[in-house]
């Protein structure tokens, strides 16, 4: 697959807390970094997302007495998995992994900063209606399907923030391609199989970084 000047690479949440030793470590999370560095030179446009939670975020199990990480509760917008405290604002866990070096990135989009709602997707909060502003940013910069843009995704975690971001790219009318070997998954209660069914229905493409060319 040949990369064009209109294509955009979005690197999702390659942060310390999602890598080995972090509060919500994705198995092998840091292994995505060499793959991302390998393909980054192919793209003229790179964006980063950063999970950025307040200390008492409603998705944290610690905010709900008697609950533990990976329990599910119902919040105002529906079912919510509870997580260990992670990517708390202004903590080392929220920082990008020190090995990730993408100084050419044009935007860092922070998400999950609203206390009462979680945010997996780079496009929408988990209520599926509150926008992060990313769709508008892309549109104003001329990154549209009409102009030949495709959005490529890499990072963490494949079955949560990467996956939901790709589905929402399709929802706002953008072609979405996930670079599978540049992602790692949590696979909580069959979450990989579940989201891959949604990829099929939505038209999200799955390829490997070796399939890309300049």
Residue 84 CA to its chain's centroid (Å): 18
Nearest CA-CA partner of 129 in 117, 141, 142, 143: 117
Q: Can you name the residues that pair with 108 across neighbouring β-strands?
A: 48
**Which two structure tokens, joined as six digits, stand for 104?**
């050419």
Phi and psi torsions of 9, nearest 5°: -105, 125
On the 0-12 / 13-18 / 19+ scale of CB atoms within 10 A, 192 is: middle
Q: Which CATH class for the 8-54+89-211 domain?
A: alpha beta
**Which two structure tokens, joined as six digits, stand for 77?**
């917008």
| pTM of structure | 0.96
**The predicted structure's pLDDT at residue 140:** 97
Active site residue 13: yes
Phi and psi torsions of 142, nearest 5°: 85, 15
- In this prediction, the residues of the chain whose per-residue pLDDT falls under 70 are none
Kindly name the residue from 7, 51, 85, 111 that is annotated as catalytic: 111
Kindly name the residue from 7, 13, 51, 159 that is annotated as catalytic: 13
Q: Give the model confidence (pLDDT) of 121-140 as tens digits.
A: 999 999 999 999 999 999 99
**The predicted structure's pLDDT at residue 214:** 79
Kindly name the residue from 17, 19, 87, 161 that is annotated as catalytic: 161
**Which two structure tokens, joined as six digits, stand for 4?**
């064009």
């Amino acid at each position: 697959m040949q990369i064009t000047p209109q294509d955009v690479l979005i690197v999702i949440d390659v942060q310390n807390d999602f890598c080995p030793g972090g509060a919500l470590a994705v198995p092998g999370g840091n292994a995505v970094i060499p793959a991302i560095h390998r393909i980054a030179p192919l793209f003229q446009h790179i964006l980063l997302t950063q999970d950025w939670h307040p200390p008492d975020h409603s998705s944290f199990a610690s905010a709900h007495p008697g609950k533990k990480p990976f329990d599910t509760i119902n919040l105002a917008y529906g079912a919510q998995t509870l997580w260990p405290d992670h990517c708390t604002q202004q903590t080392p866990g929220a920082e990008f992994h020190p090995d990730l070096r993408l100084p050419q990135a044009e935007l860092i989009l922070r998400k999950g900063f609203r206390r009462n709602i979680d945010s997996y997707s780079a496009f929408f909060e988990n209520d599926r209606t509150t926008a992060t502003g990313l769709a508008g940013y892309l549109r104003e910069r001329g990154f549209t399907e009409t102009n030949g843009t495709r959005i490529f995704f890499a990072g963490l975690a494949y079955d949560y923030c990467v996956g939901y971001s790709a589905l929402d790219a399709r929802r706002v009318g953008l072609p979405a391609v996930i670079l599978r070997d540049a992602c790692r998954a949590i696979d909580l209660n069959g979450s990989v199989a579940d989201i891959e069914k949604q990829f099929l229905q939505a038209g999200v493409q799955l390829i490997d970084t070796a399939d890309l060319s300049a």
